Amino acid sequence: MNFSNNYTFFAIVVIAIVTFGTRVAPFIFFRKGKATPKYIVYIGKYLPPAVISMLIIYCLKNVNLFKFPFGIPELIGVATVAILHIWKRNNLISILSGTVIYMITIQFILVTN
């Protein structure tokens, strides 16, 4: 696959600038002695779990439940990660095992093409 280098460069620069912006914002806007606006505190606290839920669905958005393999590989993968993580709480083990099992499933067991 080929991607335009210009596009990739500018996209990364945009991500870098916005990311730095979120990190530098409190140093610019919230000086000592001033209370942080309530809605910022609120959004900052409760947005992350909502965002992660969104990202998981975003990752799985192209799964078709009505066509073979009916999202079964994804279900196996997510379940592997979840069970291992609740049990061991080790990021590396959970991510690695889930990914390998998912890859084996779609490459050798529930092969689509």
Partner 1 sequence: MRKALKAAFPATIPVMLGYISVGLAFGLLMVKTGHNFLWAIFMSITVYAGSMQFIAINLLTNGVGLIEIALMTLFVNVRHVFYGLSFIDKFKDMGKKKTYMIFSLTDETYSLICSLKAPVGVDNNLFLFSIALLNQMYWIIGSIIGAIAGSLITFNTQGIDFAMTALFVVIFIEQWFTYKTHIPVLIGIVATLLSLMIFGSDNMILPSMIFITAILLVFEKKIDKKEYEKREEAMNNEF
Q: Distance between CA 60 and CA 71 in Å, rounded? A: 9
Tokens of 20: 């730095």
| 99 forms part of the interface with partner 1 (CB under 8 A) | yes
| 6 forms part of the interface with partner 1 (CB under 8 A) | no
Among residues 46 and 70, whose Cβ is nearest to partner 1?
46
For residue 51, the SS3 value is helix
Q: Is 30 within 8 Å of 36 (Cβ atoms)? A: yes
| Binding residues among 28-67 for partner 1 as defined by CB under 8 A | 30-36, 38-62
Count of CB atoms situated within 10 Å of the CB of 98: 20
Q: Which of 65, 66, 68, 92 binds partner 1 (CB under 8 A)?
A: 92
Among residues 35 and 68, whose Cβ is nearest to partner 1?
35
| 91 forms part of the interface with partner 1 (CB under 8 A) | yes
